[in-house]
């Protein structure tokens, strides 16, 4: 069976559900994994190498065992010898450990960080509270039409 230049088998899945995210099965595994929040191209490539999955393979061609290996590596990257500098949440404020934040945890950790900054009344937290530029941009003559865009 051939569709859009792709040879598909009978067990091809067009949509996968991984970590509460819909993944397009027609894309290659690396680029399909980037649709999960908190997982970029480099981290997706690394976890595919650790799980021993061919990077040219389509996401819809993966079987359940390969998906479970990917989920296990994403959930505990330190157990699979992924270095701490590669993770997106280094030295977490509450636990002090390096970890990978993904899916719904990205938004909740960002919200927690902003709440903490506002509560301790740091400069960055106050700027977030006021809704003005946070990262040192000029505000006198620019940005008059709409409010600050970005992390708030």
> For the whole model, what pTM was predicted?
0.80
Kindly state the DSSP code that residue 99 receives in the 8-state scheme: B
Mean pLDDT of the chain: 89
pLDDT tens readout for residues 59-68: 999 999 999 9
Instruction: Give the mean pLDDT of 94-119.
Output: 92
At how many degrees (to 10) do helices 104-119 and 123-130 cross?
Answer: 110
Distance CA 55, CA 70 (A): 13
149 torsion bin: left (phi>0), alpha (psi -120 to 50), beta (else)? beta
CA distance to 40, 91, 135, 138, per residue, from 141 (Å) = 35, 38, 16, 7
pLDDT tens readout for residues 1-39: 555 655 666 788 899 999 999 999 999 999 999 999 999
Distance CA 40, CA 60 (A): 19
CA distance to 52, 99, 119, per residue, from 125 (Å) = 43, 24, 8
**DSSP class per residue in 14-71:** SEEEETTEEEETTSBHHHHHTTSTT--HHHHHHHHHHTT--TTSBGGG--HHHHHHHH
Phi then psi dihedrals of residue 99, to 5 deg: -155, 165
Q: Which two tokens stand for residue 126?
A: 């106050």
């Amino acid at each position: 069976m051939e569709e859009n230049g792709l040879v598909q088998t009978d067990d091809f899945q067009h949509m996968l559900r991984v970590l509460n995210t819909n993944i397009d099965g027609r894309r290659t595994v690396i680029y399909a994994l980037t649709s999960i929040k908190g997982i970029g191209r480099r981290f997706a490539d690394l976890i595919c190498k650790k799980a021993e999955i061919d990077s040219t393979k389509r996401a819809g061609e993966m079987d359940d065992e390969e998906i479970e290996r990917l989920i296990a590596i994403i959930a505990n990257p330190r157990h699979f010898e992924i270095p701490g500098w590669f993770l997106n949440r280094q030295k977490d404020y509450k636990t002090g450990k390096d970890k990978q934040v993904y899916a719904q945890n990205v938004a909740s950790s960002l919200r927690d960080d902003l709440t903490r900054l506002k509560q301790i009344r740091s400069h960055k937290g106050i700027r977030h509270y006021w809704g003005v530029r946070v990262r040192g941009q000029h505000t006198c003559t620019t940005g008059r039409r709409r409010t600050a865009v970005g992390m708030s």
